[in-house]
Amino acid sequence: MTTQESLRPQSLMLTFLGDQVLGQDVWVSSGSIIDVFARAGIGEQATRSTLTRMVNRGLLHRRREGRRMYFGLTERSVAVLRDGERRIWGTGAVNRQWDGTWTLLGFSLPESWQRQRHDLRAKLTWSGFGPLFSGLWIAPGTVEVSSLVAELGLSAHVKVFRAHADAGLDIGAMIEETWELSELAERYEAFIRSWQPWETRLPDADDALALRLRLQAEWLQVIRHDPRLPVAHLPDGWPAERAEKTFRAVYDRLAPLAQDASERLLDVVPVRESA
């Protein structure tokens, strides 16, 4: 089951870690991760390669106990997972609390800084910004970006402002010019088409955990493209609320079976202070 984009193994791995490891004070064995991922359609080699890459990127610790290898979270992965958790369960997909404030971010980078420009744009997109003009990006609300810019080493090249639109500005038209609304709406509609049948179906017991992981990973894949634009300025029938209701309904329906499956399938050990 997929939405518009194929699901990358690392996206599923981050979802798995947020769902089963974050806040649990445990490490989980590679063998049980491979088992769960196989049920989600991810092969053993892809799973092992993903674990290795995440260790190399400082997103996972690993340690051997006997013949088994166990993986645990790092400070960096905890920060990443908390951010995803906040996006899924905290802010929600529909913005009804907008106070009229916009965050404007201007940047000017040397032409040779292609990688830095790409990284900045990716981070800005994740934080809800869209390109108003070349080098000037805008996001609804008060968005804190100083740590994001500092992490990329670009503080000297970026200026941030808070602003309100002039009374004569057509905010709805500005939004349509800045963000690809039709593409975003189709992401939500595709999610609904893909997952709505599971509001009345149940998977095999051992597949429930993998299915719930795919559900969360695909939902995060959709909402990470959504800047949470003020709903009052979006087209009529905007599908975000319907999609979120589908997500929550399926998640709740899968929860008991997924919990039982995790207890049967996952091999975990407690975190040790020396780890």
* Tokens describing residue 195: 């997952």
Q: Which of 78-87, 93-102, 209-218 has the highest mean pLDDT?
A: 209-218
- Residue 97 has a CB neighbour count (10 Å cut-off) of 11
pLDDT per residue as tens digits for the range 100-143: 999 999 999 998 999 999 999 989 988 889 999 989 999 999 99
| Res. 4 pLDDT band, cuts 50 70 90 | very low
pLDDT per residue as tens digits for the range 129-139: 999 998 999 99
| Res. 5 pLDDT band, cuts 50 70 90 | low
pTM value is 0.86
pLDDT per residue as tens digits for the range 227-236: 989 988 999 9
Classify residue 230 by its DSSP letter: B
Question: Taking residues 231-260, what's their average pLDDT?
Answer: 95
* Bridge partners (DSSP) listed for residue 140: 102
Q: Angle 48-208-90 (CA atoms, 0-180°, nearest 5)?
A: 85
Residue 127 burial (CB < 10 Å; 0-12/13-18/19+)? middle
Tell me the residue type at 40. A
What angle in degrees, to the nearest 10, is found between the helix axes of 30-39 and 44-56?
A: 130
| Res. 2 pLDDT band, cuts 50 70 90 | very low
Share of the chain above pLDDT 90, in %: 79
CA 164 to chain centre: 29
Is residue 85 scored above 80 in pLDDT?
Answer: yes
pLDDT per residue as tens digits for the range 57-74: 999 999 999 999 999 999
CB 268 within 8 A of CB 27: yes
Question: Taking residues 12-36, what's their average pLDDT?
Answer: 95
Q: What are phi and psi of 161, to 5 degrees?
A: -135, 155
